[in-house]
Chains A and B, each alone.
Chain A
Amino acid sequence: MIAFLIKRLFHALLVMFVISVVSFAIQDNLGDPIQQMVGQSVPESERAELREELGLNDPFLVQYLRFAENALHFDFGYSYFYNEPTTDVIMRHLPATLELVFATTLLIILLSVPIGVYSAIRPRSWLSRLFMGVSIVGISIPVFLTAIVLIQIFAIGIHVSLFPADTAWGAWLNGLLSTSGGMPAYGRGDVTHVFGTWDTNFASLNGLTYLVLPAISLASIMLPLFIRLIRAEMMEVLQSEYIKFAKAKGISMRRIYFLHALKNTMLPVITVGGVQIGTLVAYTILTETVFQWPGVGLMFLDAIQRSDIPLIVTYLMVVGLIFVITNTVVDLIYGLVNPTVKLTGKPA
């Protein structure tokens, strides 16, 4: 166990090192900090002096070590645009993203487990077929398009006049297919201050309504994946010997499905889930752009448009750290829950 732990931690440090080198290379090659500091009017000789003073002529390795030392103190310099430490800017935007991700994860867990299990137990029922059909369509719709369609239907509203309005059934069908809209689709709405930079959407009804559409959009891309995964794993587990044995012992089917089978189904789901957190962070950029959700994704995109390099680099480091921590934790949990995984060798 100790060997496994050390191995994983070493791997995590290695990944963090690679990320920091990439981040530093970006910072080093993009933009001229002197230009940012003094503007156009300062003569070249003074610039050269300043450059020497700031250590910008030092060898790559020396500069990198300085960068790494500052990074360890969470000091990534000042944002060009906000004119304050980049970590402060990130901390201000992070709660919005984390709340969105939290709401999405909640949706995914609450929906994917029952649907996945149901369609594994009754693979031939029409409801299972419907779920599978919808899920392949869901995979094929890019997340920003889901968001746009949701905005059109629930925020703007659609007015259907396809059927003849002068007949009773036509008017009824038109009314049935039309929506009035009205759901909020931009920003966070009323937030309640908790502490520090953390404002929450979960404390008021108004805040919650602002969370609904973004969370559904973000969940739409992951949900089909998890439903299909849980279904496939569950079907495989249900074929195994120990389930047959449990059936022969006369244990109730409900107990077999939800206690014996589900336990082993969730193992691979945990690993995939950990990896998917990374994908989720990438998709927050898209979702936040569509809904103007003031999280780190939108902030990152704005930073790109403004060439705000310190902020871009800080975002990369913070997101990299989140990835590394979640992946390591997921690996460790997997090692703990699955007794068959070879702890010292390669993880299964």
Chain B
Amino acid sequence: MTTSASAAPSRWARFRDSYLVYSFKRDLIAQVCLVTFLGMVLAAVLAPWLAPMNPYDLAQIDILASELPPFWIDGSDPTYVLGTDAQGRDLLSTILYGARVSLVIGFGAVILQAMLGVTFGLLAGYLGGRVDAFLMRLADIQLSFSTLMVAIIVGAVIKATFGGAIYSEYAVIILVLIIGLAEWPQYARTVRASVLAERSKEYVDAARVMGFRAKRIMFRHILPNTLSPIFVISTVQIANAIISEAALSFLGLGMPETQPSLGSLIKSGFDYLQSGSWWITLIPGAVLVVLVLVINLLGDWLRDVMNPRLYKG
């Protein structure tokens, strides 16, 4: 592609003048959400430098300092701003590291979903016929179960096959695989619908007449024109993937307590709710909700702006 030649405005200039940026500047909620989201991602990425202690390092954990409350409650220790969990780990640190794990799994799972879903959606939409019928029937069957249900079943089977120890060791990869495999039909359906709309257009005919192969037409010609719906559902899918990961971890099918995600932090704190240590479970919970909420709100905003249902003719 040689579109960024000297005569045309640069990519950055085109982006700056786009409707997307224009409406972003006028929408306060979208700005707040984006700032919050970027702040959380940054904090999670920089966790090893920001966190007061390393929750994976057993030497730093003081069991005598367990179940300390956060700073605004009597009996707190100023060393531990948000208090400590039942094992004496600093809650702020575990949350920073936990958000990191949650985000890695969320993004990883969505990348896998997108790769599978976009490929299958392109194949189904462009080739049509039996391929289409088979892939969409498969998607129908999988969607008639809920995606969470599929994830739980696959997780349970993997855990029963390989045992708890191996499952914990490779939990991140396994969770990405499970959530990625459970949700691909969402992408496939969206992509297929836009491919069907694009396929009959003249530029596709032109490409075909020029003798390009199906693979090239699908990925180089049609795919770029289906990006905006993909972009929109990706935000929602990331939020869903993070929630699914948290749910699986809460059920004991996710991240182990030694390498906690937000979900497993909530799970491990839940046992101490009755003894009054609500912060161990509710503070990570609040972080999870804020993270998912800002992603959902950004997704809502993107959908309104891009309106992927309307195809520019």
Contacts and interface: CB of A to CB of B under 8 A. Distances in A.
Interface of B is mostly: helix
B292 A140 contact: yes
B144 A278 contact: yes
Given A148-B285, A304-B159, A136 B296 contact: yes
B273 interface: yes
B43 interface: no
A305 B163 CA distance: 10
A312 B273 contact: no
A9 interface: no
A332 interface: no
Interface in B24-43: none
B249 to A, nearest CB: 10
Contacts of B253: 304
Contacts of A156: 273-274, 276, 278
Given A149-B282, A301-B251, A285 B146 contact: no
A181 B276 CA distance: 13
Interface stretch (B7-15, B112-120, B221-229, B239-247): B239-247
Interface of A is mostly: helix
Interface stretch (B147-155, B168-176, B207-215): B147-155
B143, B144, B247, B274 interface centre (most CB from chain A within 10 Å)? B144
B266 A145 contact: yes
Contact of B152 (A15, A282, A320, A323): A282
Contact of B252 (A29, A139, A305, A312): A305
A137, A156, A304 interface centre (most CB from chain B within 10 Å)? A304
Nearest to B143: A275
Contacts, number: 100
Nearest to A316: B153
Nearest to B293: A140
Contact of A148 (B143, B144, B281): B281
A145 B265 CA distance: 12
Interface residues of B, number: 38
Interface string B235-279: 000010001001100111100000000000010001001101010
B103 to A, nearest CB: 16
Nearest to A327: B144
B156 interface: yes
B141 A15 contact: yes
Contact of A29 (B161, B247, B297): B161
Given A30-B160, A136-B293, A304-B156, 15 more contacts: A14-B141, A136-B297, A137-B293, A140-B292, A141-B289, A142-B288, A144-B247, A145-B266, A148-B285, A152-B273, A278-B144, A278-B145, A304-B160, A305-B252, A312-B156
26 contacts: A15-B144, A30-B157, A136-B297, A140-B296, A144-B246, A145-B285, A148-B270, A149-B282, A152-B282, A156-B276, A158-B278, A275-B144, A278-B144, A278-B146, A279-B149, A282-B149, A282-B152, A286-B247, A286-B250, A290-B270, A305-B252, A309-B160, A312-B156, A316-B153, A319-B149, A324-B144
